[in-house]
Structure formats: C-alpha cells, structure tokens
Structure 1
C-alpha cells in the first residue's frame, strides 16, 4: 500500500529530528583548514560520526536537542596522523625485549639474560640497541651476547631496523660461516676474517628467515597492543610503511568486521613474495575510511646509523664507503612500473643523497614512460638530499614524508658520519615547504618513540629535550607551530588522498579529535613534548580516556 505523502514527510522529519547529534563545548579548539589557515573555536558539533560545524558559544543554542559535553576548557585538536610507522613492529616491541636507550653491549646482555629467564621462546628476539649511544661507538659482536645467552638463538634488531646483532647459536642454526658471502645490498660485518654477529640490510635475511613465522593471532595481538598505545598518544590514523601478505589479510578481515581500532593507510611491502597477488586484488578503500591500501613501500637504501644510507661521496667516518643501494635503478623502475600499472602509489625509502637522486631519476623516467605522476608518490625519510635535488620534489610532485624526531635523534651522529657539505640539504623541512611541497610528518615508530608531541617539539625547536643546541640544530629548517601541526594532520592526510575526509575538523569530515592537557600554541616551546592526551575520539566515538 502506498503511504500518504503527509505521512512520508512526517516520518522523514521525525528521522531527521531524532538523529543523534553531539556537541562538545567549552573547549579551546584549533583546526587547520584546506585554505591554509588555523581556525579557533569553542564548540564542535558532530552527527553520525562527522563534523556538522564548529563555532563559538552561540553555536550551542542552535542545537538544543544535542547531547552536550562540557570540554572543561581543554584544548581540542584534530586527531593526529602519523604518516610513517610500523604498526605490527610497534606491537611486537611492546611485547618483546626492548633495548632502546641501553648504554652498552654489557647492559644489553644483562637485560637479555633477565628476559631469557622469563621467556620460553625458542628464538629470543628484541630491538632498540644503538651503538652510537655507547662510549666506544663500535658495533658489538656475537661474543658479547654468548656470555649471557648461548644455548638459544638471539636476534636483536638495531633501533633503525637496518641491522641485526645475533649470537653464535643463531649463526650456527642459520648456517653462517666465514665462507658465507654478503648478498648484494647487504653486508656481513667481519672481525678477524669471521662473521662478527652484525648483519646489515639485506644480509639480515640470512638469519631472519630462520625465525619461526609469526601467526595471525600473534599479529592481531601486536596490532591491538599498538593501537592501545597509539590512541593514548592522540594518534587516530597511522600510515603503515610496508605490510606483508598476512597483515594485508588481517587488516581486511578486521575492517570487514568493523574491528579496526584506528585508521590505517597501509603500504604493501615491495619485498613480499606475494606482492603481485596483493596488487592484483586492486586498490582497497573502506567506505568508513578505517582502511586504505593503495601504495607500495619500496626500499632504495639503508640507514645512516649503520652506514647503509647511500651517499654521493664517502662517509666522513669510513673512507671508501658510500653506503648500500638495496635495489639498483633498473629494479627500482621495474617496481615503480608494476606499482603504477595497478593504480598504486610508490612510496620509496631513501635516506642518503645518492639514494634520493636515484629514486628521483627513477620516478622521472617512469612518469615519462608510463605516467603515474598524479599518484601522490612519496619519498619516505628524504633525510639527506643534495640541494640540487630538493626542487625536483616539487617538479615531480613527490611528497617528502619525513620524521622530525630523526633530526634531533640523529644530529650528533649525522655530524660524525657526514661533512658540512653533505649536510647542506639535511632534514630540510622548511626548504621543502617554501618551494610549495607538502611535508607529511610521522615518527617511524618503533624506530623512534611514537609520541607525536615529541615530533611536534622536534619540528618546532630542532633541539634535544635538554634544549640543546641553543636555538636548534641547523635552525633555518625549523617549522612554526602552525606548520608542524599541519604536517601531522592535513598534509599527512593529503599524502594518503584523504584531505577531504581527515586532517581537520571542517564540515563533513570525520569527527576525529583529541583533548589535551595544555595549549599547544601557547605552552612554552620547551614543554611541547610534555603535552599529554586526555581523550581520543574517532568518528565521534571516544576510543581513549586517560584514567
């Protein structure tokens, strides 16, 4: 039976009037906007997970039926986006041996020994050591681990993920001997003509392939451990820089069940044996924007701390050594070609100036050959770039995806590794912005701590947490507070094709926001990293509240 028109109108009006609207008022709100401004507000209204409007105290009167929440004067910002992290790696780190900040090989061994007593796993795995923090600054050896644990294999990943330190048992089980050759794109560090226990970049897999594969259940536990941590830090979306096939399946399964705890923009790992299978499945984009998979993570070189970053000239502290290219130019271009043909973006890891130049050349050649320039391709890290190559990012529409904390973590080590000339285009955030590039900021967790306020502090000050050096390291590249916030919100969203859905609190966007315990824009610069998150909301739902 056809319903009378008046009844239909009445039913529609009833549905509209009873739709759940929420507003949070009495807040000190800030949001970047698509026209490049930072807007202030005291009231935020949202319905069905999306922003209706922001405004002043009079806005409250416009929504008399809305559920009203008193923000108690707290500062409100858009949810922060980490444009480069490793989600499962972070979750694993939270559950495994953590060696971040350990002061010596001896201290690492003692912590390993204690960990081993309470951990029955056949392989003991950890991460976080950094020999540049130690007095002698030299790579440790297998013998340094053997005296603490010799009956089980031990694999400890360097903080940057580009080197592993293993004991003799691990080398024995992996069949490593003095006759084992370093693979192309990797290096087995030798001592007295024998493998020392340090494996750089592609040499890592000589040992890693023998570690039992992580189960889907273990990956899921790692994901939820990471999400709990990230939400507590105000991160509502993370770009996962290189996922394998099992993680690809896990994310999709959880997305279908609406069980992803925060938003994920995932990059397929170019090194995955099942890359073709994942690409053939097409671009994956969920309507609620909790999962987007439309890019491939490609590795060009190693890292600066392990002298694997590929340089144009020799390392200052290792003559006749220019680092490692993990893929040569033809291989890079083949991966880019495959990526573009599937409608995917290429996000390429490049740290050294030689790697950045080769990657830019590869992008340019592929754009001329098959296209792909409009795919918002990125260079991940873009740490040491020759000044002549910086303008090419803008010319080729390549997004520099950078991690501000790397500059303040690396500054002392970088000055030992590199000459002043080599550092001229290092961590050049402001130079990129001035030429019109968008800088997408992240942390590279778990290489660095995931707290985005550490990154905002580093971006604004270029100083350590002890406020050194005075006025900041290479301070011409500092960002303003407005620029830094935009790089962790709207520009990070742009780098994922999401600037019309995420990154600000403009009308129609998802209501992803955080309440923090002090005003980011007025707190002394020296205290930015001390800002704490009180609440984290995604799509109008509270996902974290500080107890």
Structure 2
C-alpha cells in the first residue's frame, strides 16, 4: 500500500507545481505601497515580460506563481519607481564635465574652484554652474574684476544656480561683442558706475556662445546622469527643455539599451523644434515620450528676474520682466493649442503666473484633458489661485527650502502667503506634479519628499517647518512623485503605481519614509532600483 501512496503523492506534487504560472521575478515579504486608487499596501508581486502580473500577499503569490528569480525583501519597504516631474537630465550630465560651483560660500570660493578646475582640465573656454550670492556673507552679485585678473586670456562663463544669471569675464564679453550700449528684451546687462559688471540676466546670456559639446561628450553626459538618477531611485525623468538633436540621441541610446532611463521630453521653444515636432505629432516608445513644449514666461526670483505685479520689496522700482513678449506668448499658446502637444510654462513671479493662467484659461475653455502645466508656480497672487482648477501645478518642493531664508525679503510679508503654496495649489487642481529642477537643486527625490512634507532644510531649520499650512501630507507627496507625475505625462495607465498590467518599475528603500521620523527621510538610502523588473543600480 505504501508503495502505491508514495508515487501518488509525487504525481500530486508535480501536478500542483505544473499548475503554477511561471514568471520572471517574484518579490515577497515586503510592505509594498501600490499607490493604487485605494492606496493599498501588499506584501508581494509577480513580474513577467517587464510588467506586474499579480499583486497580493506573499502566500497568494507563492501559491499561484513560480519564478527562476525570487527576492525576499526582508520587510524592507517598496514603492513605485520615482518620477521627477521637472528636471534637466541632460544638463545634469553635462554639469559633470564642468566646474561645480554648488555650495560655494563666497566669491573667493568660486574663484578657487575655477583655478583648481583649470589646472586639471586646461580648457579653452571655462564654463560651470551653481554659484548663489544669497548663500554668501555679502549677498550681492559678484563683479568681474578678480575674474579678469586671474583669467585675462581665457573666456569664462559661469551660470548662477537657477540658470537665469551668468557671470562672465572681459574676454568672454569681447568675444560676444557686448558693450555698455547693448540692449536686450527680457534680459539685462548689469552695470555699475557706468561699467559692465560681467553679470548677465536671462536673455542677455544668449550673447555668450559657449562651445558645443562633442557627440562623445553628449553620450557620456546622458550615461552619467542616468547613473546618478538610478542610484537615487528615479525611473522616469521629465527633462524640461531639449532640442531635436539630443532627443534623437536619447532615442538611439535607448534603442541599443545603452540608456535605460525613461524620458518624458519637453521640447525647447524654438522654431526648429516647433516646426518639426508639432507637425509630426506625439512620439511614443517604451522609454521615450515627446508631447510637450517647455516655454519660459519669466526669470528667477533669486536673480530678481521673476516678473512681479508690484515692485520687488528689496529693490525699489524693479519688477522683473517677461522673457518672451506678451504677443509672442499669445501666438505660441494658440499654435500649441491647435496641436496635440501639452504646454508647460515656467512662471515664477505673480505677474508671469497671472499672464499665463489667464491665457491658458481663454484657450482651454473648449478643450478637454490637455493637462497644460505651469512649471514652478512659485509666487501666485491669492486672487489668482482659482485659475489652477484647470491647470496642473508642476512644483519643486526643494525650491521652498532653498529660498525660504531670503524669499520674504524679495516679495514682502503679504505676497509670501501665495509663495511655495503647494497645499493650496493641490486644493485647486486635485493633483500636483512634483520634481526637483536638478541640477539647480539636488537630484535626490527623497529631498523632494522631505521638503514637501516636513518643509525644513537638511539641518532641521526652521524648527517648526516653513509655512506648514502649505505642507503636503506624506500620502499626497508620494502620489505627487509617482502616479500624479505619470498623469502629468499622460502615462497613468502604464506606470506610477504597482498594479497589474503596468510596467514593473519599483524601488526598495532602507526605511519606510511613510512612517519614520521626518528628520530621517533625507538620509534614507535607496537600496535597489528596478525598471521593467530589471535591477539597474
């Protein structure tokens, strides 16, 4: 009898195994934030052909599926892959090949970094980015005299952290043909005592022709940016302003699997890009999506280029300016509205926001599901918030914690109430897209999470948080970094949450950012990043 029972048990076990569906990967024993409609948490999921095929408890998944590869998460938390809703991915890569001036504490610190860089690189044109006079003891724009004495024969052009101001030396000025009589709409050549200081604001920077990177340097830039982003848990990036040449390079590298990052490309607003892409229509592959135009309405608050309705509180008679004329903006809006493309407009000051919101409102009245975005929405008149009911706010929380030390000096105690007002914006539209604007800010999406929900800097200042009435809840912050960003990109049916049928982009973190003490959030490590179920870091 025993001889009969044993073979029957073996047959039964084999039959049971054969009934299980074979998948590529099973992940189990985790707290998984699905970010689905109910914001459910589960323990396990199965992946096949790069997509989630099942989500549930560890027991449920193990009973129904078998896989060659299995990950025991050992109770580490898992989230959908983070999406950066506004960044400069290609710019981040290029920055790795230039002078890094981020966190310089004085103008002399800037100069020393330039000297050190040139000793190592010996370039024919020195470029870099990252200085911020607001971080210095003397919070004034630098002037070029010291730069001229150190580099009399080598042109130097270094951008401010926000990219809306540039310091150049006399050699660069001579090459550009700039004089004290030079004028430009939407920009400024700053002078002092009738002489050029070397500081150029917004459109004035267009006079400086920085050498174009080689194709080899472009490819390396994209690969460098990808490595940095994967290490920090990003699986999709919205690059806010790319030209056709770079977009096509990204596509070619993705096709050969040299670039695995998913890219939502906003085309830069110029004639060549508009003529090519608006006529061609939306471009969509598994990893590249081209369907939006990045437009500038004004400059930045830190360099006083943001367009304000009333004068700057710390500079009488100065209002900032639109960087594109009103008529040009009106014509552009109509052209984009007649295409399939989304319009994503950089608007910092309350005047720029008002102009664009009113224009959007007029053009979008009879158009549904356009998902047009205001990028930054940084200072908004309290009377104008209602316009966001039909306009998606695309905001960068670390701007608030970077600017909070001096922002009220710029705009005053009343206007600051409508500045960095993320929760008020959320109440209007019902969603917000969250990003970093890197390399202007740090790449880490965990800094974004911290700044949005805790509203402090990395040193824990201010003690009670900055304007906490406009902090986002942790749940809404996570949505803003995943499913709402996917929505902003017209991709919510394919990514942004851990659900059956969606691409298997997910990350494993060291700690649960939804429950740990807020001060631990920015120091939490990304352990692993996956795209299509493939580990990429």
Could you say which TM-score interval applies, normalised by the shorter chain? over 0.9
Residue aligning to 1:216: 215
- Give the match's secondary structure for 2:298: coil
Residues in 2 aligned to 1:405 and 1:487: alpha-carbon distance in whole angstroms: 14
Q: Secondary structure at the match of 2:378?
A: coil
Q: How does 1:83-162 map to 2 (within 5 A)?
A: 83-162=85-164
Match of 1:462 in 2: 455
Deviation per CA, 1:282-303: give whole Å up to 9, x if none. Answer: 21011x2x11000000100000
CA distance in 2, matches of 1:16, 1:158: 62
Give the 3 Å change call, closer, same or farther, for CA 436–212 of structure 1 in structure 2: closer
Give the distance between the partners of 2:356 and 2:278, measured in 1 at CA: 21
5+ long unaligned stretches in structure 2: 1-17
Establish whether residue 443 from structure 1 lines up as the match of residue 446 from structure 2. no
Name the CA shift for 1:271/1:144 in 2 (closer, same or farther; >3 Å). farther
| Residues 358, 387 of structure 2: 8 Å contact kept | no
Distance 2:123 2:461 in 1: 42
CA-CA distance at 1:18 after TM superposition? 7.4
Correspondences of 1:365-514 after superposition (within 5 Å): 365-368=362-365, 372-394=367-389, 397-514=390-507
1:526 CA drift (Å): 0.7
1:31 pairs with 23, 29, 34, which one? Answer: 34
- 3-state SS, counterpart of residue 483 of structure 1: helix
Q: Report the CA distance shift for 1:376/1:436 in structure 2 as closer, same or farther (over 3 A).
A: closer
Match of 1:300 in 2: 297
2:116 and 2:422 map into 1 onto residues whose CA distance is: 42
**How far is the alpha carbon of 1:372 from its aligned partner?**
4.4
Tell me by how many angstroms 1:168 deviates: 1.1
Distance 1:530 1:239 in 2: 24
Work out the CA distance in 1 between the residues paired with 2:204 and 2:443.
Answer: 27
CA RMSD, Structure 1 to Structure 2 (Å): 1.7
Q: Note if 1:66 corresponds to 2:67.
A: yes
Task: State the match for 1:356 in structure 2.
Answer: 353
Q: Per-residue displacement from partner, 1:72-126 (whole Å, max 9, x unpaired)?
A: 2211111000000001110011221100010111110011001011113211110
Structure 1-normalised TM-score? 0.92
CA contact (8 A) 2:100 2:130 kept: yes
Q: Secondary structure at the match of 2:414?
A: coil
3-state SS, counterpart of residue 383 of structure 2: coil
Rounded to whole Å, the distance in 2 between the matches of 1:540 and 1:424 is 44
Q: How big is the shift at 1:213?
A: 1.8
> SS of 2:154's equivalent?
coil
Report the CA distance between 1:433 and its aligned residue. 2.0
The alignment covers a number of residue pairs equal to 520
State the 1:28 CA deviation: 2.1
- Counterpart Cα distance in 1 of 2:525 and 2:363: 45
| Deviation of the 1:273 alpha carbon | 4.0
**Distance in 1 (alpha carbons) for counterparts of 2:62 and 2:82:** 29
- SS of residue paired to 1:485: helix
CA deviations over 1:344-390 (Å, ceiling 9, x no partner): 0100000100000000111123235xx54521100000010111111
1:266-281 equivalent positions in 2, closer than 5 A: 266-271=265-270, 273-281=272-280
